[in-house]
Amino acid sequence: MSSILGFDIGGSSIKSAIVDTTSGRLTSELSSIVPPSPLTSNDLISAIKNHAASLEWRGPVGVGYPGVLIRGEARSAAHVDASFIGFNLQEALSRPFDQVSVINDADAAGLAEMAFGAGQEHNRVDGGTVLLITLGTGIGSALFSGGRLFPNTEFGHMMIGDREAEEIAAASVKTRDDLDFKEWTDQLNIVLREMHRLMTLDLIIIGGGVSENFGQFKDYIDVECPVKPAAMGPSAGVIGAALKTALDHKK
């Protein structure tokens, strides 16, 4: 199994593409669907089924979901409708698709970066501990130890003093408070240092749209481990979701 249709679910868009999971390359155009707002569980299932039908796709599917998933069941609902909480996305999608896996969206991006992007050199048993953080409206996270994913981390909600990490250093904070890159990175350093202190990290990967401007703030980063920008771009979640299905159904 190498060609898998991947989906990356967001509150404002659903990205998708067919992925060659042996190379991490897209074999179709990265498409973006604008879903109803707020996105309900029924809306999502319909959107995925309709898009697959439009491609005449009958193969395996992978889905990245913006929240905690336990055995396929959504336990949180970030930027989507609260109807997702308690909804088993894995079971619902197993009806129209024979082979499907679901994964937290930040974890999906992390899988893509570890397999094909900035974390490749650490994607092995002796590869140490790697943390991907995605900086956007909030902060998403994916943690790897020895190349293995520790799923459903929510380090954006880690308390630092009396504030959550994402209230200090999300990319949206830079815009909200009209900070320049130096001012914003000073706040980001507070979060990175605390994460490194707690997890003794060997690498931090910075993802999210702000990573495209890494060159403008990398010299201000001050933490005791290497920090790299994500390499897989906006398709990371789609690629990682497809890769999760490939790993789950590997024979």
- 3-class secondary structure per residue, 115-153: HHCCCHHHCCCCCCEEEEEEECCCEEEEEEECCEEECCC
pLDDT tens digits for range 1-18: 689 999 999 878 999 999
Cα–Cα distances in angstroms (integers) from residue 150 to residues 17, 132, 211, in the given order: 25, 12, 23
Domain with CATH 3.30.420.40 in the chain: 3-105+235-248, 118-231
* Residue 119 pLDDT greater than 90, yes or no: yes
Cα–Cα distances in angstroms (integers) from residue 47 to residues 35, 50, 220, in the given order: 8, 5, 42
Average pLDDT over residues 42-57: 94
116 in Cβ contact with 239 (< 8 Å): yes
Query: What is the model's pTM?
Result: 0.95
pLDDT tens digits for range 57-92: 999 999 999 999 999 999 998 789 998 999 999 999
Pick the CATH number of 118-231 from 3.30.420.40, 3.90.230.10, 3.40.800.20, 3.90.1530.10: 3.30.420.40
Specify the CATH architecture of the domain 3-105+235-248: 2-Layer Sandwich (3.30)
Can you give the pLDDT at residue 36?
A: 86
